[in-house]
Amino acid sequence: MQENILGIIGGLGPMATAYFLELTVKMTAAYRDQDHLRAVLMEAPDIPDRTAHILDRSKPSPLPALTGYAKKLEALGCGCIAIPCITSHHFFPELQRAISIPLLNIVEETARHLRENGVRTAGVMATTGTVRTQLFQRALAQEGVGCVLPDGAHQEMVMRVIYDDVKAGRPVEEDVFGEAAAHLRANGAECLILGCTELSLANRDRPLGPGCLDALEVLSRAAVLACGKPLRPAYHCLITR
C-alpha cells in the first residue's frame, strides 16, 4: 500500500483535534517513532462557525477558508485530508470538488464501519445542527443501516450533555446520557453513534458504556489505513463491548 502524508484541517474544535492526533498515534501498529504516519496539520480555529452558517445563511460561510486550507495541504504533498469536526462535513461535496485528493469522510466511514460489523440499526447522538443536516441519516441509508433519532425531549438531553456538561468542562451527567441512550435502544438502536466530538472527549475521559461507536475514532482509524499504516489489532472493530 502506498504511504500517504495525512493532511488535517484542525481547530474545529482544538481539543478534538489534539485527541484525534493522539488516536492516530495510539492506533498505529508502530514500534518506533519512524513507523508512525507523517502528517501536516493546519490548526485553524479562526474558520467561521459552521453551525451558525447552517442555521442562518446570512452568517459567513466557512467554505472559502476550508477550501484555502485544503488546497494548501494538497500543495504541500498530502495524499488525503481529514477534518476532525462533524458539522464541517456538511460542506464536503463542494470542498471535495475544489481539490483532487480525497477527503476522509467521518460520517460515511462511521456508517460503513457499522455495516461491516453487522449492525442493522444505529442510534444517532449528535447536535441538533448535525441532525438537521441529515448527514448521518443519509450515510446510514446509503449503507443500508437503519437509523433511530431521539424525539424532541431526548434530543434536548443529548444537547444538555454536549453543551451543559462537556463543553462547560463538567463530567457527563450519567443519568441524562443514560436516559437518552435507553430511549434510542428501546426504539431499536443496536449501537449508538457518538456523533459529536464533544461526546468523543467525554468518552475518552470516562467511557460511555458498551454498544457505542465513537465517530472520531472511526476517522482516526480511516486516516491510519489511508496513510498505508498497519492498525493495532485492538482497533479493528471500534464498537465498545
Binding-site string for a copy of itself from residue 5 to residue 44, where x marks contact by CB under 8 A and - marks none: -x----xxxxx-xxx-xx--xx---x--xxxxxxxxxxxx
Q: Which is nearer to a copy of itself, 42 or 145 (CB)?
A: 42
Distance of closest approach, residue 133 Cβ to a copy of itself, in angstroms:
18
Rounded to the nearest 5 degrees, what angle is found at the Cα of 48, between the Cα atoms of 47 and 50? 105
Q: How far is the CB of 51 from a copy of itself (least distance, A)?
A: 11
Per-residue x/- track, 50-89, a copy of itself (CB under 8 A): ----------------------x---x-------------
Say whether residue 151 binds a copy of itself (CB under 8 A): no
Question: Closest separation between CB of residue 197 and a copy of itself, Å?
Answer: 11
Cα first-last separation, the chain: 31
Distances from the Cα of 6 to the Cαs of 73, 79, 98, 179, 186, in angstroms? 9, 6, 18, 38, 40
> Beta strand pairing status for 103-104 and 121-125?
unpaired
Q: How many whole angstroms separate alpha carbon 174 and alpha carbon 155?
A: 15
Task: Give the binding-site size for a copy of itself (rule: CB under 8 A).
Answer: 31
d(CA 215, CA 210): 15
Nearer to a copy of itself, 55 or 76 (CB): 76
Question: What burial letters (b/e) apply to 128-140, b meaning 16+ CB within 10 Å?
Answer: ebbbebebbeebb
Which CB atom, from 66 or from 181, has the smaller least distance to a copy of itself?
66
Distance of alpha carbon 224 from alpha carbon 201, whole angstroms: 20
Q: Closest distance between a copy of itself and the C-beta of residue 181, in Å?
A: 27
Binding residues for a copy of itself, rule: CB under 8 A, are 6, 11-15, 17-19, 21-22, 25-26, 30, 33-46, 49, 72, 76
